[in-house]
Chain A
Amino acid sequence: QQQVKQSPQSLIVQKGGISIINCAYENTAFDYFPWYQQFPGKGPALLIAIRPDVSEKKEGRFTISFNKSAKQFSLHIMDSQPGDSATYFCAATTYNFNKFYFGSGTKLNVKP
């Protein structure tokens, strides 16, 4: 049973558009939610992360929206660029950071 469910599996967005990737979880003990970006042939790299005590976190063009009651969180990429084309993973972990649970990934393609 997957602890974190991610959608969509793939996404095509025009340059300048908004990319939105969604994740949902069940375990209410999760209290840290990072997003990772992965380019082909490379390992994932931390993009942005949020804790459930805030509803939104923004870093440049990347924003996480968090809905604690719905147990959902999403990544918004504003003004999407071709260089943003990559696979994105959401994840969740509990306070001790022992085990991270990843979503299944979203392959984003930003068309020029």
Chain B
Amino acid sequence: IAGITQAPTSQILAAGRRMTLRCTQDMRHNAMYWYRQDLGLGLRLIHYSNTAGTTGKGEVPDGYSVSRANTDDFPLTLASAVPSQTSVYFCASGTPGPGAASNQPQHFGDGTRLSIL
């Protein structure tokens, strides 16, 4: 079934450790996004990538980095985790650009639940 695969599904991590959340899509979408979801705050964009080789900062990029070496993969790295990064992380993909209603991040993964102690 086509879609987005996120790994791991959940993780408990000690503060100060490095962690990479993986995201792979098989829909050949140009754009990919990382969000964090926190109670009462909705989803907030961390980083995005309009196409392979390019990335951009979202609302809350500090403490996170991304790379987009190819169309399918968009890993999110926490270089040195802090407790405030405890959250549920969602990866999404879509086709950016004006016009068609299909141009949106309508495909989300099922999330990675990350707890930092």
Q: B48, A43: Cβ atoms under 8 Å?
A: no
Q: B103, A34: Cβ atoms under 8 Å?
A: no
| A-binding residues in B (CB < 8 A) | 4, 31, 33, 35, 40-45, 48, 50, 56, 58-59, 90, 92, 94, 96-98, 101, 103-106, 108-111
Q: A49, B42: Cβ atoms under 8 Å?
A: no
Contacts A42-B110, A46-B104, A49-B101; A105 near B42 (Cβ below 8 A): yes
User: Lowest 10 A-B CB distances belong to which pairs?
Assistant: A43-B108, A46-B106, A102-B42, A102-B43, A97-B96, A95-B98, A104-B42, A105-B42, A43-B110, A44-B108
Q: B104, A97: Cβ atoms under 8 Å?
A: yes
Q: A97, B103: Cβ atoms under 8 Å?
A: yes
Q: B45, A45: Cβ atoms under 8 Å?
A: no
Chain A interface: which size bin? Answer: 20 to 34
Q: Which of chain A's residues 72-112 have a Cβ closer than 8 Å to chain B?
A: 89, 91, 93, 95-105
Is A19 close to B, CB under 8 A? Answer: no
Is A41 close to B, CB under 8 A? Answer: yes
Q: A99, B45: Cβ atoms under 8 Å?
A: yes
CB neighbours (8 Å) of B44 from chain A are 102
Docked Cα-Cα span, A44 to B58, in Å, equals 18
Q: Out of A6, A32, A101, A103, which one reaches B104, CB within 8 Å?
A: A32
CB neighbours (8 Å) of A104 from chain B are 40-42
Q: A100, B103: Cβ atoms under 8 Å?
A: no
Q: Out of B97, B101, B105, B109, which one reaches A96, CB within 8 Å?
A: B97
Is A27 close to B, CB under 8 A? Answer: no
Most buried by A among B35, B90, B104: B104
CB neighbours (8 Å) of A14 from chain B are none
